[in-house]
Amino acid sequence: MNYKNYSNEDLEEAYTTMMDYSGKASKEILVEIDNRGGIDIFLSTLEFNKLNKKEINRITAEVYSMSNDYSDLDFIKQFIKSDVLNHDELNELIELKFNEHLAILTDRTINQKTIYGSLAGMAVGIILSLIFYILILSLFGKIVYFPIIGVYFICYQTIKLITKQTRDNTFVFLASLAGTIITLLCLFFLYR
């Protein structure tokens, strides 16, 4: 196999996979590693990247855990330290993970906007899904079941457009599912 076109990350991944599964690396990958500076530099870079990933995962877990209890970013920054990342990298990572976690929590929050938006989106989604399915029925001349996925997709996207929340929100998911079921029930009664 030719490893010349592999990025450093892809080469590391291929080497690690080979070592995990067979315990040895192929000649081709060893030649490419030698062309990029040698096995010693490659292994030290690999170890450094593993250490960085481990540290980033640890900091992510700490930020997620602390941001469940505290909403002040500066307060959280005071308690998280790192020997691997420098101060600027640490602050950037903490801010990134804090905002990421805040977005997840906001997405999962059920409030009046979620409820009313989901209901309005479900109504619009049902109408659009009925039109879509009627077009499918006229095209095929009989009820087919594969467009049900399209019906769910239409209901979900309509609700998502209105609420700005994803299916990770329980109410959005249930409203999308209910819209799909109601659409199918309407079709059943229309074409019975």
26-49 tens-digit pLDDT: 888 888 888 888 888 888 888 888
- Give yes or no: residues 116 and 100 share one domain: no
Q: Which of 86, 108, 130 is the last residue of a domain?
A: 108
Q: Which of 83, 108, 133 is the last residue of a domain?
A: 108
76-115 tens-digit pLDDT: 888 899 888 888 988 999 999 999 999 999 999 999 999 9
Listed in sequence order, the DSSP H helices in 80-169 are 87-108, 112-140, 148-163
Please count the residues of the chain. Answer: 192
> Which tokens is 47 given?
């170890």
Residue 30 inside a domain? The answer is no
Measured distance CA(92)–CA(95) in Å, rounded: 5
Residue 131 inside a domain? The answer is yes
- Give yes or no: residues 57 and 85 share one domain: yes
Residues 6+ apart with CB under 8 A from 23: none
Q: Which of 78, 108, 138 is the last residue of a domain?
A: 108
pLDDT value for 25 = 84
**What letter does residue 60 receive in the DSSP assignment?**
H
Q: Which residue range is the domain that position 55 belongs to?
A: 37-108
- What is the number of domains present in the chain? 2
Residue 69 inside a domain? The answer is yes
Measured distance CA(68)–CA(102) in Å, rounded: 9
- Give yes or no: residues 133 and 168 share one domain: yes
- What's the rounded mean pLDDT across residues 10-35? 87
- Give yes or no: residues 149 and 182 share one domain: yes
- Give yes or no: residues 167 and 179 share one domain: yes
**Cα separations in angstroms, 5 against 9, 32, 37, 46:** 11, 10, 16, 19
> Which tokens is 137 given?
């029925």
- Give yes or no: residues 121 and 77 share one domain: no
